[in-house]
Structures are given as C-alpha cells and as structure tokens.
Amino acid sequence: MPLSGWLILAKPRGLGSTQGVSAVKRVLRQNGYAKTKVGHGGTLDPLAEGVLPIALGEATKLAGRMLDASKIYEFTVQFGAETSTLDTEGEVVASSDVRPTLAEVEAVLPRFTGPIEQVPPAYSALKVGGQRAYDLARAGEAVELKARSVTIHSLNISRGDEEIGAVTLTAHVSKGTYIRSLARDIAYALGTCGHVTYLRRTKAGPFTQDQAISLDLLDETAKGASLEYLLLPLEAGLDDIPALHLDQTSAQAVRQGRVLSDMPQSSGLYLAKLGQVPVALMEITDGTATVVRGFNLPDVAE
C-alpha cells in the first residue's frame, strides 16, 4: 500500500517547489516504496526557504485546501533599491537615497494590515493571455497585472537595522498574497523603494517550521528506517475540522458515496472517521451529510 500523509519539508533557498516534490519522489523510489502520488501544498519561490507541505497518497486530495490556507512569512526589505523581480535575482530598476527609521516603518504598517489591494509582481506565475507573467517579463514585454484583494491578518517588525536601511517583518497573510509586492508597497508608502533580500515561510496552514525536516534527513531516514516515522497523518492537514465518528455500516455507505440522513450535528464540514481511520471529508447541510472527498485508506483494528 502506498504511503499516505504529510511530509513537511524545510525547503532550502534555490530549490523550486516542484523540485521539492521530485526530490521526495526520488527518495521513495530509491528506497523501494510503492509508487506514490506526491504533491505540494502551496508554491514557495525558489529564492524563499521554509515550510513546504508535501502531500503523499490520499493526502494529495487535500493539497487544494492547503493552497487556500493562510501562511506566515518572515522577510527582510532592503530600502533604497527596487529590482525588476522585487527580490535579489533581478536588476536594479529604481533607486532612492531615502532610508526610513524603524519608527516610520512601524507607523505605516497599519495601512497594510487587514483587507488590502495589491498588484502582483510582473515576475509571478500568474497567467496573462494564456502565458505565465514571468515568461513575458523575461522576454522583455511589459506585463500589466490587475490589483487583487488579499488580507494581511498581522504585520509586525521582527528586527531592523537603520544603519544599512533594512527591516525584517513577520506577516500572517491570506492565500494569494505576494510578499514581494507587500515589500514594494511598504517602501513606496515610506517615500522610497525596496526589494526582498530574505524570505522564509514559517507556517503554512496548520504546519509549522518545528515540524519541517531537511531533504538530507529525509534521505538518511529512508535509508536506515521507515519513512512512517517522519510522516504526519492525513488529518494533520485538517486540524480545524471536527470529527464525525461513523459505525461500520455508515462507513460502508459513505465509501459507496451514499448520503447519510437525519444527522444531529450542525451544518458544516466534518472529517468522517471509522475508529482512527479517515473515511471522507463530508458536508452536513440541514441534517444531510454528503461526501466532499472520499479517502481510500485501509481499516485498522479499532
């Protein structure tokens, strides 16, 4: 039976998210595991590091939910220069002698907290006329992207160095937020320009950097022991969803995709389980439970 669950990767700088998925697939293949479906729960720029949830087996059915989850980032803004990519990879396209004080930075942060509008970076994976924005930008074409609504749940200064004109911020953000755009706009609000020199994701949905493992550790463990020791269960990605406990008859009905009626629970999303085994993600509406996503996991002794 293929593995199912979550591996939380500590993605190093320079590695793309799809490369992270490929690396996990390679480790599984080299160590004799059954062919397993592998996906990731939210793209992380190659220049960024930190928490990259990797879904295995049945957990890949929840990867889409992880894309919708909020994230926490720590990032450093270097004031005085804006680059074409808004990070250290691009060429300088604007410069300024203005270096804000930490007090001035602190004063503008409330303007970027709560629901805001932001224009994504030209160097992003968004599609414009069927093509990736970054492909058009690299080809020297002008890329016009529309502003989008995002939510910044919190934004605080972690540390700052006024001498070198840089500040490190921690942001808890909704899906679709571009940290590079946030850095650019904060710099503009301070009468200067800037770009991101460091970016780390410390939390993605329920997963934190404390749970993250390096590719080296993953490789080492796979060679010497079972990867199950590093695997978080499928339901670890659903920590905010209440459980719906089924009996054998109900579980069988749910696995056949049937509706359960006369449910006493209030309306909402539930993780249906038989003992400790996840059976399905179900939506209860006015006492009727329907399957949103079924899981094909073996029963274990209850």
Q: Which residues are catalytic?
A: 45
Using CA atoms, how far residue 287 sits from 44, 178, 211, 257, 265, in Å, is 40, 40, 37, 17, 7
Are 148 and 118 within 8 A, CB to CB?
yes
Q: Among positive and negative, which fits the CA dihedral 236, 240, 245, 251?
A: negative
CB neighbour list of residue 226: distance below 8 Å, 6 or more residues apart: none
The Cα 143–Cα 159 span in angstroms is 34
Cβ 152 vs Cβ 112: under 8 Å: yes
CB 264 within 8 A of CB 245: no
What sign results for the dihedral spanned by CA atoms 203, 208, 209, 214? negative
Where are the strands (E) in the chain, listed by range?
5-11, 38-40, 49-56, 71-79, 81-83, 92-95, 114-118, 127-128, 131-132, 148-161, 166-173, 194-204, 207-208, 243-245, 268-274, 277-285, 288-294
